[in-house]
């Protein structure tokens, strides 16, 4: 039985080797989405406190 994490890591490595530019784009988009989501979460928490 191969652990799922190894399959995911292997797939990510294969994509990185095949399409380095595309992989970097996907990573940047993922990071951007996480920061965007975190910013919205922080803003909504602040507005609940009445400081927004």
Q: Read off the pTM.
A: 0.40
Phi-psi region of 31 (alpha: psi -120 to 50; beta: other; left: phi over 0): alpha
- Alpha carbons 25 and 33: distance in angstroms, whole number: 12
Consecutive 10-residue averages of pLDDT for the chain (52 residues): 80 74 78 87 80 52
pLDDT value for 45: 85
- Max CA pair span of the chain: 53
């Amino acid at each position: 039985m191969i652990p799922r994490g190894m399959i995911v890591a292997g797939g990510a490595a294969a994509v990185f080797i095949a399409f380095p530019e595309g992989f970097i784009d996907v990573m940047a988009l993922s990071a951007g989405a996480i920061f965007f989501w975190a910013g919205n979460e922080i803003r909504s928490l602040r507005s609940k406190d009445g400081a927004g």
